[in-house]
Amino acid sequence: MNTLLAQVSDTHIRGPGQLAYGRLDTAPYLSVALGTLMRMPQKPDAVILTGDLTDFGSPREYAHLAELLACLEMPFYLMPGNHDDRENLRAAFSAHGYLGSTGFIQYVIQVRDLRIIAIDTTEPGQSSGRLCSSRLDWLRAELAAEPAVPTVIAMHHPPFKTLIEPMDEIGLLEGGDELESIIAAHPSVKRVICGHLHRTIYTGFAGTVASTAPSPAHQVALDFESGADSAWNLEPPGFHLHVWNSAGVLLTHAVPVGEFEGPYSFL
Ligand SMILES: [Fe+2]
């Protein structure tokens, strides 16, 4: 039996009717993405949202996000990004006990055959991310506790450089090297899934694969030029579907979001 984990990232929900960056209503984009997700012939077992759930972390934005996510029929799990506020997130989703009551928002969940370890890279008031020794010690202990269970590590800030300079400047600025050595020592880690970049990116990392997911709304402009503007565009949105299959392989499908013609039979 396959285990299907959908990853939706960087939803940046604002209050009803409010526009992100003065021009983008992110809410209908999320609704379209969730519609695509719910119409898939094989529904995901769970959904993980890898941070930047809201744009400013306000109670009004989390209330709006909760309304939008209510259409999901499967469990969903929330993670903070640099645009979020841990306490307002917890207050708005008080039924989500895995969010804890204080401090970092990091947790372990089991989705069928796959263990998900969500680790909190955020630093209040900062766009960049950090993994301090207490967060890394917690991760090390969780990995050591179940060394044989296939595991996905989820984090908002990716632990690698992307070549998109304005994003790398607000990337994971501390703890990445230690994270790499921890993961390299634990072959149970099958993937590191991240947000923050609003694009699909893959790279080798610590003997496994690390990736970032697109946003269901706006994407970060692909520009490797030094000094490039921090910019977004409306390239096709999407989400990722991570599948742990019965052969013991984790594979990822990128799912574009929208209404498209087809399917038409090849025959
Ligand atoms: Fe974001």
Instruction: For the chain of 267 residues, list the mean pLDDT of each consecutive stretch of 10.
Output: 97 97 97 96 97 98 98 98 98 98 98 97 97 98 97 98 98 98 98 98 98 98 95 97 95 93 95
On whether residue 261 sits in a domain, the answer given is no
On whether residue 262 sits in a domain, the answer given is no
Residues bordering ligand 1, an ion, CB closer than 5 Å: 10, 52
Q: How far is the CA of 264 from the centre of ligand 1 (A)?
A: 35
Q: How far is CA 193 from CA 5, 113, 200, 212, in A?
A: 11, 17, 10, 6
On whether residue 247 sits in a domain, the answer given is yes
Instruction: Look at residue 110 in the predicted model and tell me its pLDDT.
Output: 98
How many Cα atoms occupy the beta-carbon half-sphere of 136 within 13 Å?
A: 15
Instruction: Look at residue 119 in the predicted model and tell me its pLDDT.
Output: 98
Q: How far is CA 33 from CA 8, 68, 216, in A?
A: 9, 11, 6
Q: How far is the CA of 67 from the centre of ligand 1 (A)?
A: 20
Q: How far is the CA of 221 from the centre of ligand 1 (A)?
A: 12
On whether residue 171 sits in a domain, the answer given is yes
On whether residue 252 sits in a domain, the answer given is yes
CA 1 to chain centre: 24
Q: How far is the CA of 219 from the centre of ligand 1 (A)?
A: 9
On whether residue 140 sits in a domain, the answer given is yes
- Compute the distance between CA of residue 105 and CA of residue 248 in angstroms, rounded to an integer: 29
Q: How far is the CA of 246 from the centre of ligand 1 (A)?
A: 33
pTM > 0.95: yes
Instruction: Look at residue 259 in the predicted model and tell me its pLDDT.
Output: 83
Instruction: Look at residue 258 in the predicted model and tell me its pLDDT.
Output: 83
Q: How far is the CA of 84 from the centre of ligand 1 (A)?
A: 10
Number of domains in the chain: 1
On whether residue 264 sits in a domain, the answer given is no
On whether residue 154 sits in a domain, the answer given is yes
* pLDDT tens digits, 89-145: 999 999 999 999 999 999 999 999 999 999 999 999 999 999 999 999 999 999 999
Q: How far is the CA of 250 from the centre of ligand 1 (A)?
A: 25
Residue ranges making up the domain that contains 113: 3-256
Contact 12, 30 (CB under 8 A): no
Element (H, E) at 239: strand 238-244
Instruction: Look at residue 61 in the predicted model and tell me its pLDDT.
Output: 98
Read off the CATH number of the domain in which 238 is found.
3.60.21.10
Name residue, tokens 């029929």: 73
